Amino acid sequence: MAGYRKLSRTASQRKALIRNQVTALLYNGKIVTTEAKAKEIRRQAEHLITLAVKEKDNFEEVTVKAKVVRKDKDGKRVTEVKDGKKVAVFDEVDKKIKKDAPSRLHARREMLKVLYPVKKVPEQAAGKKRGTEQVDLVAKLFDEIAPKYANRNGGYTRIIKIGQRKGDGAMEVMIELV
């Protein structure tokens, strides 16, 4: 007997399906799917949240100097002429960054193996590439989801039965973060 559900798919299809649904669950907070898929998604999602909870405070803040382009009041780059060429003017600023400990970095990379990249599309730019921005789902796991479940020992998701699907009679469920 296998240690996982095969979901009537090949290995690559099954892996892609689970990755896609786990990404959607963590981004949206809840999804509707079939019962068998939800039970497989739950395994992956709980594992990722557990990693985030274990490593949520495992970093140090470091101040680094960074060069940033100087901008005018309209938000355009300030340029000056040097040797007959226009060059941008840079300012040095101090930035605080989070430096991950090795175990947190490993957890981050394990999460990135499972999660797909997510793009957030504003409503006024629906259907257009302009204005979309990349959502850092791993940062969301560490900064928003992990602190919420810090005092909890597992059981981060809930499966609620909705009823049978009209087309094929499969049991539909809603899986959500508790």
pLDDT digits (tens, 9 = 90+) for 36-84: 999 999 999 999 999 999 999 999 999 999 999 999 888 889 899 888 8
Give strand pairing partners of 92.
67
Cα–Cα distance list, 130 to 74, 124, 142 (Å): 20, 10, 28
Q: What is the CA radius of gyration of the chain?
A: 22
The C-alpha atoms of residue 84 and residue 94 are separated, in whole angstroms, by 31
CATH topology of domain 11-58+101-177: 50s Ribosomal Protein L17; Chain: A, (3.90.1030)
Tell me if 30 sits within 8 A of 71, measured CB to CB: no
**For residue range 113-146, what is the model confidence (pLDDT) as tens digits?**
999 999 988 888 777 777 788 999 999 999 999 9
In the chain, list all ranges with CATH 3.90.1030.10: 11-58+101-177
Are 39 and 157 spatial neighbours (Cβ–Cβ below 8 Å)? no
Q: pLDDT digits over 2-30, tens only?
A: 789 999 999 999 999 999 999 999 999 99
